[in-house]
Chain A
């Protein structure tokens, strides 16, 4: 990605992911609220449904991208020492990636449990 396009693309990415995050949260919270209280078994079977697990994986990805743009914005605004900004950006990216892997692993485990 060229440096020139980073401003517009990051800004657009944050807006589009926000729409998905909003829609997912409203729908899932409404569903969970309607079916509450959910026990372990209900959560497991809910997350084992392909629709649910795919949309949750997408949600995590969208949240990761959204958070990345936000954290990057804060660091660009306030941290002016380039090496420090680079370190903080790398640390945030690592943390976000680790969270994504953790969610994907959990979803895979649930799917495996369901098939067993």
Chain B
């Protein structure tokens, strides 16, 4: 679709807890002279914010690296800065990431998401004496971390996961479990037992029913469902 010369219509979720009794959808229009080819949704949102300064959303790097502008776009979670306007059906419905408390408009409270991330102990645990230079890995060992370390914690996956919607306080969610596996798979990490023990209860890992929404929406093309499968596999191997 060629965008030049077409005005774009938007329907955006608005909610200011101090003023509004309940959330509502507000229509916006971006006049055709402001629409440029190759525009991303975030560019459009920034222009709409010039029209209406009260419209709130998070953004930072604007190129899919920081993970700040995760939102629900036409029913699908994604990063506004990596979603081309040309690919979107109008009016573009923009909502906050589902399942989390809304602070204002498209800004959600990510505390539960970060709490679960913390539960996964996303750091290297190794109590052996430090080597003189650094802990080396073979290229093969390093390869194990590909597809895991790239996560930018945008929360698109966890907030598209029904298991995380129902039990965000008990189920770690795909993002945190991807990090769990990232450290289980790391040849330098020595806390395999401890990490697996943490995950063996009925909720933290086993609420995953391989619904695969996480894989479907990840803007970085990562596969948390596969990582979860690897964790289960390792757990089975350990119990035999």
Residue numbers in B under 8 Å from A77 (CB-CB): 162-163, 166-167, 207
Asked if A78 is at the interface of the complex by the 8 Å CB criterion, the answer is yes
Residue numbers in B under 8 Å from A11 (CB-CB): 206, 232
Residue numbers in A under 8 Å from B205 (CB-CB): 7
Asked if B235 is at the interface of the complex by the 8 Å CB criterion, the answer is yes
CB distance from A20 to the nearest CB of B (A): 18
Residue numbers in B under 8 Å from A76 (CB-CB): 167, 202-203, 207
Asked if B209 is at the interface of the complex by the 8 Å CB criterion, the answer is yes
A10's partner among B167, B202, B209 (CB-CB below 8 A) is: B202
Asked if B236 is at the interface of the complex by the 8 Å CB criterion, the answer is yes
Residue numbers in A under 8 Å from B201 (CB-CB): 3-4, 6-7
A residues 1-26 near B (Cβ < 8 Å) are: 3-8, 10-12
For A73, the closest partner residue in chain B by CB is: B209
Residue numbers in B under 8 Å from A80 (CB-CB): 166
B residues 142-195 near A (Cβ < 8 Å) are: 162-163, 166-167
| Beta-carbon contact of B236 and A12 below 8 Å | yes
Can you list 28 A-B contacts (CB < 8 A)?
Answer: A3-B201, A3-B202, A4-B197, A4-B201, A6-B201, A6-B202, A7-B200, A7-B201, A7-B202, A7-B203, A7-B204, A7-B206, A8-B200, A8-B232, A8-B235, A8-B239, A10-B202, A11-B206, A11-B232, A12-B236, A73-B209, A76-B167, A76-B207, A77-B163, A77-B166, A77-B167, A78-B166, A80-B166
Shortest Cβ-Cβ A-B pairs, 7 listed: A7-B206, A7-B202, A4-B200, A6-B202, A77-B166, A7-B201, A7-B200
Residues of A within 8 A of B (CB): 3-8, 10-12, 73, 76-78, 80
Residues of B within 8 A of A (CB): 162-163, 166-167, 197, 199-207, 209, 232, 235-236, 239
Question: Contacts A4-B200, A78-B166, A80-B166 given; 6 further ones with Cβ under 8 A?
Answer: A4-B197, A7-B202, A7-B205, A8-B239, A10-B206, A77-B163
